[in-house]
């Protein structure tokens, strides 16, 4: 369950990185076909990074070591590419926001100047109309009426400009550049991109390790408790000759078991046989109980020890 949860978080972080890549291409690439091809390439690289780190963590610790390092190296290269891509995308978005904010600010200043000019013109026409309306000459009063109508027309033009000005002023928002400055904005974009990519990398690696540990636990027969010894059974009375014969056979059997143990001991120390019950059974043809006894003896003699998880054995030194 933990492995699945970690994989889900890693996929979500990588999906966010792919989304940033898509936004960056929409801001910078104008050709539609080229943009679609580059988006597909970005998604492919993101999935490849996930697969590289997840597979490297899922592989056994000692086997396929070269493949693990190759996958880790590929994942690191793709990690750097993802961080660079997301950083560039965020800077492009910030720049686009700055350009839009500058355009809005210029439009606000233009509207404020136009409204002030129109109001001054309308006020002058009204004053002129008021002065001419007091004249005794009909022509002057007529010009005063014309000036008043012009003032009203100009004031009618002010209303839509005032509405637009109010909308632009209410839509004003601070940008990262205005809050942090140019240098800090670049640093912030890089750090945020690195954190997003690092979450995907770490969670996919953790998912692979958790699935590998779960798989190892399911395949560890030596972790099963030893069967209880059979109850003592009364043995019939035997002659002295039969007892001597049985003792000789026991000595031979014990000698064979000791020889097998010594061979297992040498093979485990050399690394040709792994310290687990199945490997010992395959190497010596020993029954499962004897293989478990050999494992316990190896641990008692400090040849092997349990790993940190307690689910397997490893050779000391």
For 19, other C-beta atoms within 10 Å of its C-beta total: 15
Neighbours of 79 (CB within 10 A): 19
Number of other CB atoms surrounding residue 292 within 10 Å? 20
Q: What is the pLDDT of residue 290?
A: 85
- Burial (CB < 10 A; 0-12, 13-18, 19+), residue 277, is buried
Rounded Cα gap, residues 237 and 16, in angstroms: 81
Going from the C-alpha of 65 to that of each of 57, 72, 158, 220, the distances in angstroms are: 11, 11, 76, 22
Task: Please state the rounded mean pLDDT for residues 186-190.
Answer: 86
In this structure, the dihedral spanned by the alpha carbons of residues 70, 73, 75 and 77, taken in order and rounded to 10 degrees, is: -140
Do residues 85 and 114 make contact, with C-beta atoms less than 8 angstroms apart?
no
| pTM of the model as a whole | 0.50
CA distances (Å), origin 222, targets 113, 209, 228, 286, 308: 87, 21, 15, 14, 16
> Distance (Å, rounded) from C-alpha 184 to C-alpha 314?
50
Tell me the mean pLDDT in the region 6-33. 78
pLDDT band at 218 (very low <50, low <70, confident <90, very high): low
Q: Could you report the per-residue pLDDT of 36-90, keeping only the tens digit for each?
A: 887 787 778 877 877 787 777 777 666 667 787 888 888 888 888 888 888 888 8
CA–CA dist 78, 58 (Å, integer):
19
Tell me what the pLDDT averaged over the chain comes to.
76
């Amino acid at each position: 369950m933990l492995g699945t949860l970690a994989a889900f978080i890693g996929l979500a972080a990588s999906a966010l990185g792919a989304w940033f890549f898509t936004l960056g291409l929409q801001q910078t690439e104008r050709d539609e076909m080229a943009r679609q091809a580059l988006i597909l390439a970005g998604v492919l690289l993101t999935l490849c990074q996930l697969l590289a780190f997840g597979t490297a963590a899922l592989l056994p610790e000692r086997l396929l070591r070269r493949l693990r390092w190759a996958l880790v190296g590929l994942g690191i290269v793709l990690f750097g590419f993802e961080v660079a891509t997301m950083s560039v995308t965020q800077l492009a978005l910030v720049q686009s926001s700055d350009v839009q904010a500058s355009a809005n600010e210029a439009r606000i200043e233009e509207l404020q100047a136009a409204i002030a000019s129109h109001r001054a013109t309308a006020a002058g026409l009204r004053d002129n109309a008021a002065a001419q309306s007091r004249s005794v000459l009909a022509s002057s009063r007529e010009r005063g009426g014309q000036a008043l109508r012009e003032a009203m027309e100009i004031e009618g033009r002010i209303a839509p400009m005032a509405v637009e000005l109010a909308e632009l002023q209410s839509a004003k928002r601070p940008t990262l550049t205005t809050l942090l400055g140019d240098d800090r904005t670049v640093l912030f974009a890089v750090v945020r991109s690195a954190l997003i990519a690092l979450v995907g990398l770490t969670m996919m690696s953790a998912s692979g390790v958790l699935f590998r540990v779960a798989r190892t636990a399911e395949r560890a027969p030596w972790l099963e408790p030893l069967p209880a010894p059979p109850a003592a059974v009364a043995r019939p009375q035997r002659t002295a000759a039969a007892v001597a014969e049985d003792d000789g056979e026991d000595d031979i059997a014990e000698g064979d078991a000791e020889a097998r143990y010594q061979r297992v001991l040498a093979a485990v120390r050399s690394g040709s046989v792994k310290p687990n019950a199945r490997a010992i059974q395959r190497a010596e043809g020993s029954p499962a109980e004897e293989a478990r006894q050999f494992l316990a003896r190896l641990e008692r003699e400090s040849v092997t020890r349990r790993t940190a998880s307690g689910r397997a054995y490893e050779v000391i030194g």
